[in-house]
A and B are shown apart, each in its own frame.
Chain A
Amino acid sequence: MEKESDITLVKRCSAGDKRAFEALVGKYEKAIFNIAFRVMNDYEDAMDITQSVFIKTYERLQTFDQSRKFFSWLYRIAINEALNYSKMKKFTEKIDSDFPERRINPEERCAQSELSEHVQQALKALKFDYRVVVVLKHFHDLSYKEISEILDIPVKTVKSRLFTGRQLLKGMLIERGHAL
């Protein structure tokens, strides 16, 4: 049912109905923002990425293969966008290396508990490939198959990245004093 509903909105949007696109934004903005935030660990980056994802989605809507799930396509755009931002940040952060601790803005502080902040810091330390799989599995409750479709990798690779990512996170949280 959900898939049909997305497809209907996509079709209406392709026919020039802007309200249909507004409905798609309304439906997925929170999820995309959360993926971006968990992957980037930065509130403002997450905002930029979310905007960029929807602009790209709007521009490329005509190329969307309607036999596939819309959310998989949208999530893939989000992951690619986050990956590009991540690469960009790698070298801009070099310049800011005198300030290793990231400043947390007030909105972000409100949004995160201490536990959340610890998990977020541990996630940040994971390699991008592992981090993405863990985020999609544990914060978006997606199946191995759905993750494999989004990332365009075999289910076996999804499992391997997820198991390794969890193992690494477990080690990091224990190291930081969390009793598991």
Chain B
Amino acid sequence: MIPDKYIELINQEIDGVNSPKESLELKQYLEKNPEGKRCYEELRELCGVFREVKEVAAPPNLRELILSAISRQDAIPDVDEGRRGFIASALAGFRFGFKKKYAYIFAAGLIAGIVLFTVLSRIAPPPTPDDLEKLYGTISLEKSAMGVATVVPVDFELASVSGSARFRYMTGAIMTELNLSSEAPIEVVFEYDEKVSFDGFRALDKGIYDIRVAENSAELSHLGDGNFLLIFKDGFQSPIMMKIFSEGDLVFEESVYPGRK
């Protein structure tokens, strides 16, 4: 058994930080203690092994990848804001790299809009059978003044995850607000047809997540509590299939489309 003091001196000697006095003290200890000497020799060998390990060459195109990713971010504010519509400019703001404070302001505005919409919907008189203007079913839309069709929120309360997803169909885009709370790792997968494409993502909290995008799907891996915004390009008000996986098993599935009740 080597005393802690000498373990420290052995390691410091290997790192070259012992004072002459400490080095001498260690030398005297090692001369009398074969176990300590073996430990010192082995650690010295180990450090020699580290020195023999060569540096790994970075991929030759890495710098270009980094700089082009940064250029893409910089390109967003360069678009002529004046020529962009309100929604288009709001959507661009939620792409990667946008300043967080604007994201919060926009999210707060959206939430206020939802609350207002909900309140106004509840106080409106119920539709009567002869009032066809107010009738809506699977193909009609709930219209707001901005031409935003809000689909009934998808709420889920499962063993592995709880939360909600709110989909807004806008002109040319679908905005999805996702609220998740999970104690175990989960994956939320959005599947869509070729008329839809992924356009942007924003995590509104610091948390553990990862997003992978394929041709017809976007997959968000998540752990803990988090709020996210996902934006899809869509010109046809296409349906989106939302699936939740926990430990590889499908635990929730819901198809979302305008007019869904």
Is B53 in contact with A116, judged by CB distance below 8 angstroms? yes
Q: In the complex, what distance in Å separates the CA atom of A162 from the CA atom of B7?
A: 12
B118 nearest CB across to chain A (Å):
35
Q: Which of B14-73 contact A (CB under 8 A)?
A: 15, 17, 41-43, 45-47, 49-59, 62-63, 65-67, 69-70, 73
Chain A residue nearest to B224 in the complex (CB): A87
Chain A interface SS verdict (over half): helix
B61 nearest CB across to chain A (Å):
9
* A26-B63 contact in complex given A92-B221, A159-B11, C-beta closer than 8 Å: yes
Is B11 in contact with A51, judged by CB distance below 8 angstroms? no
Tell me which of B42, B47, B54 has the highest count of chain A C-beta atoms within 10 A of its own C-beta: B42
State which of B7, B49, B57, B248 has its C-beta within 8 Å of the C-beta of A115: B49
* A55-B70 contact in complex given A88-B221, A111-B56, A116-B53, C-beta closer than 8 Å: yes
Q: In the complex, what distance in Å separates the CA atom of A144 from the CA atom of B247?
A: 40
* Number of B interface residues in the complex (CB < 8 A): 42
Is B7 in contact with A29, judged by CB distance below 8 angstroms? no
In the complex, which residues of chain B have a beta carbon less than 8 angstroms from the beta carbon of A75? none
In the complex, which residues of chain A have a beta carbon less than 8 angstroms from the beta carbon of B65? 47, 51
The answer to whether A20 has its CB under 8 Å from any CB of chain B is no
* A138-B47 contact in complex given A88-B221, A163-B7, C-beta closer than 8 Å: yes
Is A25 in contact with B46, judged by CB distance below 8 angstroms? no
* Number of A interface residues in the complex (CB < 8 A): 50
Is A111 in contact with B50, judged by CB distance below 8 angstroms? no
The answer to whether B154 has its CB under 8 Å from any CB of chain A is no
The answer to whether B185 has its CB under 8 Å from any CB of chain A is yes
Q: In the complex, what distance in Å separates the CA atom of A21 from the CA atom of B190?
A: 36
* A180-B46 contact in complex given A25-B67, A55-B97, A111-B57, C-beta closer than 8 Å: yes
Is B56 in contact with A55, judged by CB distance below 8 angstroms? no
State which of A51, A113, A163, A170 has its C-beta within 8 Å of the C-beta of B54: A113
A60 nearest CB across to chain B (Å):
11
In the complex, which residues of chain A have a beta carbon less than 8 angstroms from the beta carbon of B70? 21, 54-55, 58
* A88-B208 contact in complex given A55-B97, A166-B11, C-beta closer than 8 Å: yes
19 pairs from A and B in contact (CB 8 Å cutoff):
A29-B58, A29-B63, A33-B62, A34-B58, A46-B56, A51-B65, A51-B66, A54-B70, A55-B66, A88-B210, A88-B221, A91-B221, A111-B57, A116-B53, A138-B51, A139-B53, A144-B15, A159-B12, A180-B41
7 A-B pairs closest in CB distance: A91-B185, A33-B58, A138-B50, A180-B45, A180-B42, A163-B11, A54-B66
